[in-house]
Amino acid sequence: MSKLVPPHGGGTLKPLLAPEAERAAELKRAATLKQVPMSSRETSDLVMMAMGAYTPLDGFMGEADWRGVCTDMKMADGLFWPIPITLSAEQALADSIGIEEEVALVDADSGEIMGILEVTEKYVIDRELECEHVYRTTDEKHPGVQKVLEQGPVNLGGRVTALSEGVYPEQYADLYMRPAETRAMFAEKGWSRVAAFQTRNPMHRSHEYLAKIGVEICDGVLIHQVLGKLKPGDIPAEVRVDAIDALVENYFVPGTAIQSGYPIEMRYAGPREALLHALFRQNFGCSDQVIGRDHAGVGDYYGPFDAQHIFDTLWDGALVTRPLNIDITFYCDKCDGMATSKTCPHGEEHRMNISGTKLREMFANHDPVSTKFSRPEVLKVLQAYYDKLT
């Protein structure tokens, strides 16, 4: 019997991808249905459902679930869920779709049919309510808020049958792992307590330090990369993969770290997104989620530790996976090593902090970057990437 944490909701994993033997016939049938185009965010959510990462959802949320998730982080049946998973449509298209009608879900960027939705609800959302509760702002400059404001005026709710996982299984063949696969790998290693380390960036010394704390406390760490669409300026996944591979190969004890990737599109919702990360990491088999400074944040919309504090507001039984809260990390010259404010007594003048913006400038100008900030093997990968941009 597995000693790993149970999937969210306490049941079994619930991947919505149709069996391979049925997909060709279902795709042929889907081609005859009305087509609903999906944004990149909606497509990424469908792929998360396909692989079982959004267990126990069975499709896109109806109005009661949407409202409960926005206001109370609860679905209509009381299940904890922190961010709405919804599908929008333009008014004319929504008006043409009947209740209980099946429609084809099409990725708007690629034109690929990704699944079939049995429409059980059509409803209009309060965009301001969603933005205020989920993102804590209605500022259209926030990338997550911008997505909500750009979506169609009507949401379609209902059960989903996924027919594709998009480009991920082939493009990231060595990285793309479904929850059933990570669980099998953890079990094979004999791990029962696993820390998840979320990243959309190459891992610098601070990230390495956080991941190694996870290894110290747990049996091992899952370095879990975002493979979905990011905001402009973020480093592509294939570059991050090479940088993290170099780091793990040279600076981690063999067998203590697994690098994997998953297809979500970041919402940059800060505290609420930290909760979502912990929820689906529970489905992947992780007992702990590393939460550092400004987890899943953007700009100055959230306090540096808001993503840690929000876990204290949850009710008993909401989540099994717990936060592994860690203070701001930095290199201290006087300590001569990585530290946090809890372990380092020295002043700011001894602490090395380099922002991502500053780092990009240094690479672009070929300025030297201290190995106290990033390992030389990682710097080599990143410099090669930035050289191609100039």
Q: Is 200 a catalytic residue?
A: yes
Instruction: Please check whether residues 117 and 206 belong to one and the same domain.
Output: no
Domain limit, last residue, from 132, 165, 198: 165
Query: Catalytic pick from 201, 293, 325, 360?
Result: 201
C-alpha 123/C-alpha 118 separation (Å) is: 15
Instruction: Please check whether residues 215 and 158 belong to one and the same domain.
Output: no
Classify residue 5: in a domain, yes or no. no
C-alpha 389/C-alpha 250 separation (Å) is: 27
Say yes or no to pLDDT of 329 above 60.
yes
User: Which of 248-252, 279-283, 341-345, 362-366 shows the lowest mean pLDDT across its residues?
Assistant: 362-366
266: helix, strand or coil: coil
Q: What is the pLDDT of residue 230?
A: 67
Instruction: Please check whether residues 240 and 364 belong to one and the same domain.
Output: yes
User: Which of 37-41, 99-103, 238-242, 340-344 shows the lowest mean pLDDT across its residues?
Assistant: 238-242
User: Which percentage of the chain shows pLDDT scores above 90?
Assistant: 84
Kindly state the tokens that stand for 333.
């010259």
Instruction: Please check whether residues 108 and 218 belong to one and the same domain.
Output: no
Instruction: Please check whether residues 234 and 382 belong to one and the same domain.
Output: yes
Domain limit, last residue, from 124, 140, 165: 165
Q: Closest Cα partner for 85 from 66, 104, 68, 106?
A: 66
Instruction: Please check whether residues 130 and 236 belong to one and the same domain.
Output: no
Classify residue 8: in a domain, yes or no. no
339: domain range? 171-262+268-389
196: CATH: 3.40.50.620
Q: What is the pLDDT of residue 309?
A: 97
HEC readout, 75-137: CCCCCECCCCCCCEECHHHHHHCCCCCEEEEEECCCCCEEEEEEEEEEECCCHHHHHHHHHCC
Instruction: Please check whether residues 153 and 65 belong to one and the same domain.
Output: yes
What's the start-to-end Cα distance of the chain, in Å?
54
**Identity of the residue numbered 32:** T
Q: Is 201 a catalytic residue?
A: yes
Say yes or no to pLDDT of 355 above 70.
no
Classify residue 113: in a domain, yes or no. yes
pLDDT tens digits, one per residue of 11-34: 999 999 999 999 999 999 999 999
Classify residue 6: in a domain, yes or no. no
* Burial class of residue 179 in the structure, from the number of CB atoms within 10 Å of its CB (0-12 exposed, 13-18 middle, 19+ buried): buried
Pairing type for strands 220-226 and 288-291 reads: unpaired
C-alpha 34/C-alpha 80 separation (Å) is: 33
Query: Catalytic pick from 41, 67, 183, 200?
Result: 200
Query: Residue 180 belongs to what H/E stretch?
Result: helix 179-189
70: helix, strand or coil: helix
Q: What is the pLDDT of residue 200?
A: 80
Domain limit, last residue, from 138, 165, 192: 165
Classify residue 212: in a domain, yes or no. yes
Instruction: Please check whether residues 80 and 221 belong to one and the same domain.
Output: no
Classify residue 383: in a domain, yes or no. yes
Classify residue 304: in a domain, yes or no. yes
68: CATH: 3.10.400.10
Classify residue 12: in a domain, yes or no. no
Instruction: Please check whether residues 181 and 59 belong to one and the same domain.
Output: no
